[in-house]
Amino acid sequence: MASREEREAFVTLATNDTYALGCLVLGNSLQQASTTRKIVVLVTTGVSNSMRNQLSRVFDLVQEVNLLDSRDSSNLQLLGRPDLSCTFTKLHCWRLTQFDKAVFLDADTLVLRNVDELFDREELSASPDAGWPDCFNSGVFVYKPSEETYQSLLHFALTQGSFDGGDQGMLNIYFRDWATKDISKHLPFIYNVVSQAFYSYLPAFTQFKNDVKIVHFIGATKPWHHTYNTSSGKVIPLPESGHSEEFLQMWWKIFMDLVQPALDPTLGGLVGE
């Protein structure tokens, strides 16, 4: 019988090589925080072999997921809904049934300290979304892998769709009692501090920023879009991204120290002057 540590996993996702860079930084941040759990990355055909090799150096499992699997009975319906393809890809995390419990983390998150205590929570536990706190943010959530739940979510998504076109809108309707039923399923905000908190409530950010456990760089601008000056060792934040320079600097430190040196030069450079 495998130990509890081996039956629980952190799970992330990349559909292309750029998001895979985020996964590499995230995976390294989990290792730095000395997690005792397995770490898994889901990839689609959009992730190159060279990048999969990089991922396998950091992750215990690089799991290919294929939405257009001919064994999938929902295939035909899916082909008619290209708008939901990203949503469906995230749902694949429920199929990792070799694990009893898992924590999904977006590729644009960064773990600052050990968060293994999240495995004491039940499905579906998540932090409030800063934009609408009666919804949870789907960038960090605790769940229980189950083929039955996966099928149920897939059916739900196909029939109900998503009010925001993504996984967050769909999951919030599926797990609709999250807001009111059980406070233990509300993760503290420090497990999913979105970049907007920086300017929407600056005094709170200043007061509590040392407690932050997971940072989430939501929005169109991602950490890898900023410029990094190799001579000064400092990130040059793009104006109006809303990202905290301090957190961006932490992302880039892991990238420069642990990810970039091992990258295949044919993958293309990220670092500007």
CA dihedral (236, 238, 243, 247) in degrees, to 10, reads -20
The residues facing 61 across adjacent strands are 40
Report the SS3 class of residue 89.
Answer: helix
Kindly tell me which residue out of 62, 99, 106, 111 binds Mn ion, with binding defined by CB under 5 A. 106
Q: Decide if residue 218 touches ligand UDP (CB under 6 A).
A: yes
Measured CA to CA, the distance from residue 236 to residue 239 in angstroms comes to 9
Kindly tell me which residue out of 165, 219, 233, 272 binds ligand UDP, with binding defined by CB under 6 A. 219
Kindly identify the residues of this chain, within the stretch 39-98, that bind ligand UDP according to CB under 6 A. 86
Question: 245-254 and 17-32 are packed helices; what angle lies between their axes, rounded to 10 degrees?
Answer: 90
Measured CA to CA, the distance from residue 9 to residue 70 in angstroms comes to 28
CA atoms within 13 A on the CB side of 36: 8
Query: Shortest gap between Cβ of 47 and ligand UDP (angstroms)?
Result: 9
- Classify residue 238 by its DSSP letter: P
Nearer to Mn ion, 86 or 158 (CB): 86
Query: Shortest gap between Cβ of 85 and ligand UDP (angstroms)?
Result: 9
Kindly tell me which residue out of 11, 25, 91, 108 binds ligand UDP, with binding defined by CB under 6 A. 108
- Residue 269: phi and psi, rounded to 5, are -85, 155
Query: Shortest gap between Cβ of 109 and ligand UDP (angstroms)?
Result: 7
Query: Shortest gap between Cβ of 219 and ligand UDP (angstroms)?
Result: 5
Kindly tell me which residue out of 9, 84, 91, 107 binds ligand UDP, with binding defined by CB under 6 A. 107
Residues of the shown chain interacting with Mn ion in the complex, contacts defined by CB under 5 A: 106, 108, 139
Residues of the shown chain interacting with ligand UDP in the complex, contacts defined by CB under 6 A: 12-16, 19, 86, 106-108, 139, 218-219
